[in-house]
Amino acid sequence: MEMDRSDKKRIVLKIGSNVLTKGTDHISRGKIEDIGRQIVALQDRYEFVIVSSGAIAVAKQFVNLESNGKEINVKQALASIGQPHLMRIFQESFRDLGLLTSQCLLSYSDFEREQSKKNIVNTINVLVANNYIPIINENDTVATDEIQFGDNDKLAALTASLLEADLLVIATNTNGICTRESVENNTYQTIDKVDDIASLTNEIVSSISTHGTGGMKSKIQAASIAQNAAIETWIVNGLNDDFMVKAIGKKIPFTMIKVESKKEIIENKL
């Protein structure tokens, strides 16, 4: 018996560049297929909106641009070249699994205007209702926020908040957030559950991923945005096959950043 759409939980899945490249210099079709297969396996209970990085990483496979002196302009140009290639890989890989895709380019300014926010929500709701998976990226060619801020983590959190998602999943290249002490002594103990984001900040060891522009700091900032909207965040190792299915089944270590009680959220906003 098919579940009514209103009963499905909405997941905003943010996929980092290092997950899409599997830590190499090339986008991994196998990883994109893995994500598609998981969506197929989970689609009776969950609906998905994807926030994807990787446009710049894709472009670097094809071109080596001459710099005009401003690195940010080169990155914007690379994003412009890489974006259609990235979408083509998603479209082809997902289509083979019977999944439909759509592209949504957003800028942070879109989240500051009421009409823009309504348009985003209405458009994405129509897409999801018609079984299209929205794949969101920042409009890098005209905006610098994503490139400067952190690998689409903030964009994913703002999107999850705006769409009133049930869960934000940030797929990265570590088993969630590890304690500072365990990182320093190379034992890597994952913090499994936490609701106090300030305590997480103290555990971060500063590092930026190879392709991404973020790191754990931007993921914790994203989780804070989501938490303020009463949305739970999971930081999961997307390099694992079936990482979402395994995380939902509690079969792999990951960090769950829980939601404060509604009372705490109200008090924090006062």
Crossing angle for the helix pair 262-269 and 216-228, nearest 10 degrees? 100
Task: Output the pTM of the full model.
Answer: 0.87
From 237, 190, 248, 258, select the one nearest 15 (Cα to Cα): 237
- What whole-number distance in Å separates Cα of residue 101 and Cα of residue 103? 7
pLDDT tens for 214-236 read: 478 889 999 999 999 999 999 99
pLDDT tens, position by position, 48-71: 999 998 888 888 888 887 766 577
Cα separation values, 2 from 49, 97, 149, Å: 20, 19, 41
Cα 66–Cα 18–Cα 98 angle in degrees, nearest 5: 105
Phi, psi (rounded to 5 degrees) for 211 = -95, -35
Smallest CA-to-CA distance from 56 within 77, 28, 87 is with 77
Q: Which domains does the chain have, with CATH numbers?
A: 7-269 (3.40.1160.10)
When mean pLDDT is compared across 67-81, 84-98, 126-140, 142-156, the lowest value belongs to: 142-156
d(CA 240, CA 51): 18
Between CA 86 and CA 105 the distance in angstroms is: 13
CA atoms within 13 A on the CB side of 199: 9
